[in-house]
Amino acid sequence: MGTRVRRCLPSSDAPTRAVGGSGVWVRAAGVAALVAFALSTEASAQAPPVLDTIVDDFRAAVDAARPGLLAIARGTFGTLAIIEIALSAILWTLREDGPYRVLTGLVVKLAWLAFAFSLIVSFDVWFPPVLNGFVAAGGTVTAGTVSPSDVLGLGTELSVEMVAAFFDGVGLLDVSVSVLVTAVLVAVAALLVLLMFALIAAVVVVVLVESFIALAVGALVLGFSAFRGTANLADRFVAYVFNLGIRLFCLFLLVAIGTDVAQGWLPIIQANPDDLGAMMAVLGGAVTFTVLVTYVPFKVSTSLTRDLSVGFEKALNSV
């Protein structure tokens, strides 16, 4: 490295005598391994957006399957609606309700069933836009939408810059034990930064794919909203949609802010290429970013939707 590294570290002669002739080979092997890591990491920066492809493929598959699932839901709803009305008629008869009370109960029940059936018919009007709206709201803090591949790409860029900045101007003749130890620590920190951002990107993919699967399952379980014994499934689905929506909002809000903050770490790395403390600070920032993304959205969404219920089951049981 430049004179800054050689000035604060011992010369290469003393370590060579201390560790013997094999020390040269050990140091050379270490440098070669670190350079190989740098080259492989830099190559990965040019990788295609595989994570975005995963998200798009799942979205396309679920969108293609939804019409068939909604058709099944409509058939299930019709069958269960007949059972529910027949059961209600039996209960009205056993309670010896008068004609007015029976007629009132029938009108109320039919109105509620019509509302539930309208959710199936207009499924694409309500539920996908709700989730997409939460995602869009969470990403409003940045100019563009942050994708999983963008997150992974930023982590790759940071890790490459950490290794490249440290090794800029370093040759085999400049290597000492202290330089090698510092180089190993920098390489490990760079690898951990990459892993942290890969984990963040994976969390984004998992939550997005979970929302697609939830829509597919929801298109099916809404058919069970016509019968009091199974209506709780529809209640849980609607609550789950809002849980996912809040989680997506928090996730994309944190990712959008975090990526903007992480962009500011690049100048720090470039300005302190031989400062191990700066590299560790970047690693600490990446770890903190990961903890926020993995904990806060789940905590907030669970707290806000824990007791949420639309009332399908309660409404059917009341008349």
Q: Return the top range by mean pLDDT from 7-11, 104-108, 295-299.
A: 295-299
* 11 domain residue, yes or no: no
Cβ burial, residue 291 (10 Å; 0-12/13-18/19+): exposed
Q: 193-241 pLDDT, tens per residue?
A: 999 999 999 999 999 999 999 999 999 999 999 998 898 899 999 999 9
Nearest to 186 by CA among 118, 281, 103, 116: 281
* 3 domain residue, yes or no: no
Beta-carbon contacts of 36 under 8 Å, excluding residues fewer than 6 positions away, are none
- On the question of pLDDT at 92 being above 90, the answer is no
Residue 86, phi then psi, degrees to nearest 5? -65, -40
Q: Give me the pLDDT at residue 10, please.
A: 38
| Position with higher pLDDT, 315 vs 4 | 315
Number of domains in the chain: 1
Which band of pLDDT confidence, cut at 50, 70 and 90, is reported for residue 21? very low
* 289 domain residue, yes or no: yes
Helix axes 231-263 and 276-305, enclosed angle (nearest 10): 160
Number of Cβ atoms within 10 Å of the Cβ of 196 = 22
* Residues of the domain holding 129: 22-318
* 256 domain residue, yes or no: yes
* 303 domain residue, yes or no: yes
- On the question of pLDDT at 64 being above 50, the answer is yes
What gap in Å lies between CA 202 and CA 195, rounded to an integer? 10
pTM flag (> 0.85): no
* 15 domain residue, yes or no: no
| Position with higher pLDDT, 315 vs 255 | 255
| Position with higher pLDDT, 14 vs 185 | 185
Q: Which sign, positive or negative, has the C-alpha torsion 165, 168, 172, 174?
A: negative
* 223 domain residue, yes or no: yes
CB of 269 closer than 8 Å to CB of 161? yes
Beta-carbon contacts of 67 under 8 Å, excluding residues fewer than 6 positions away, are none
Residues 161-185 as b or e (16 or more Cβ within 10 Å = b): bbbbbbbeebeeebbbbebbebbee
**Residue 41: its H or E element:** helix 22-44
What gap in Å lies between CA 249 and CA 255, rounded to an integer? 10
* 141 domain residue, yes or no: yes
Helical residues (DSSP H) of 95-176, grouped into ranges? 99-121, 123-138, 148-167
